[in-house]
């Protein structure tokens, strides 16, 4: 008789676990009808999956998020670092407010904002992965390409210069960019004879 009772209890346990599992799955998969809106302009509200998500959160616009980000000390420090770098290029006569600037590997956009704050009006920032020849192809004849790379040996510098076969090397100098020691390399795209 003990075997029959044990068998019955095992079956009841399996049934209870199955019902509980199905109930939990239904709770997490199905969205309650009260959270669905028919209006396309209304923000989408989803059923919270934890108690942390159950609290009301303000919907923040992109402009507001950007203003928060741009007001941080870290952001301003990095933008100021690029501004200092670009002032050096401006003093060489290679950058003006009417210059057309392409920032390759712009990442978060520190350099784009620095140029904009300096008064440069035609700036394009793009994020690319390992396409060094593209930089030279996009620079107009007689235009300038400025690269900032980690400090490297003279041999590495020659290798970088070799990637720009249609450009003349104007110079390289040590710079500090948001606290890191870097090398600024300036190349001018050759003007055809």
Does residue 77 share a domain with residue 24? Answer: no
Same domain for 37 and 14: yes
Q: Say if residue 99 is in the same domain as residue 179.
A: yes
**Which of 34-38, 59-63, 88-92, 126-130 shows the lowest per-residue confidence on average (mean pLDDT)?**
34-38
The residue with greater pLDDT, 187 or 136, is 187
Q: Are residues 44 and 69 in the same domain?
A: no
Interatomic CA distance for residues 89 and 96, integer angstroms = 9
Residue 12: per-residue pLDDT: 65
Residues 32 and 114 in one domain: no
pLDDT computed for residue 138 by the predictor: 67
Q: CATH number, domain at 99?
A: 3.40.50.150
Q: What is the pTM of this model?
A: 0.53
Q: What's the pLDDT at 56?
A: 62
What is the model's pLDDT at position 65? 81
| Claim to verify: residue 172 and residue 134 sit in the same structural domain | yes
104 lies in the same domain as 184: yes
Residue range 49-61, pLDDT digits in tens = 665 555 566 677 7
Q: Which residue has the tokens 């009841």?
A: 12
Percent of the chain with pLDDT strictly greater than 70: 66
Per-residue pLDDT at 64 exceeds 70? yes
- Separation of alpha carbons 86 and 174, rounded Å: 14
For every residue of 144-161, DSSP letters joined together read EEEEEEE---HHHHHHHH
> Which residues, in sequence order, are bridge partners of residue 185?
147, 172
Contact 175, 81 (CB under 8 A): no
- Decide if 139 contacts 145 (C-beta within 8 A): yes
The pLDDT of 3-13, averaged and rounded, is: 70
Domain end point (choices 59, 80, 102): 59
Residue 175 shares a structural domain with residue 135: yes
Residue 31 has pLDDT above 60, yes or no: no
Overall number of domains in the chain: 2
In this prediction, residue 41 carries a pLDDT of: 54
183 and 99 assigned to the same domain:
yes
Query: In angstroms, rounded to a whole number, what is the distance separating the alpha carbons of residues 113 and 32?
Result: 44
Kindly state the average pLDDT of the residues 23-43.
Answer: 56
Nearest CA among 187, 157, 160, 175 for reference residue 83: 175
| Structure confidence at residue 131 as a pLDDT band (50, 70, 90) | very low
**Residues 71, 121 within the same domain:** yes
32 with 45, same domain: the answer is yes
Domain of 88 in residue numbering reads as: 64-189
Average pLDDT over residues 70-98: 90
């Amino acid at each position: 008789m003990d075997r029959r009772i044990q068998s019955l209890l095992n079956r009841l346990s399996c049934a209870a676990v199955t019902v509980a599992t199905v109930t939990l799955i239904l709770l997490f998969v199905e969205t309650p009808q009260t959270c669905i809106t028919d209006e396309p302009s209304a923000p989408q509200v989803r059923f919270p999956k934890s108690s942390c998500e159950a609290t009301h959160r303000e919907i923040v616009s992109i402009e507001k998020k950007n203003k928060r980000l741009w007001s941080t000390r870290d952001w301003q420090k990095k933008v100021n670092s690029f501004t200092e770098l670009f002032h050096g290029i401006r003093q060489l006569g290679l950058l003006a407010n009417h210059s057309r600037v392409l920032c390759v590997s712009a990442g978060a956009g520190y350099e784009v904002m620095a140029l904009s704050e300096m008064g440069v009006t035609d700036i394009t920032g793009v994020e690319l992965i390992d396409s060094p020849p593209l930089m030279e192809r996009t620079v107009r004849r007689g235009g300038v390409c400025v690269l900032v790379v980690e400090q490297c040996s003279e041999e590495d510098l020659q290798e970088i210069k070799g990637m720009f076969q249609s450009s003349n090397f104007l110079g390289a100098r040590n710079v500090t960019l948001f606290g890191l020691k870097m090398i600024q390399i300036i190349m001018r795209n050759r003007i055809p004879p």
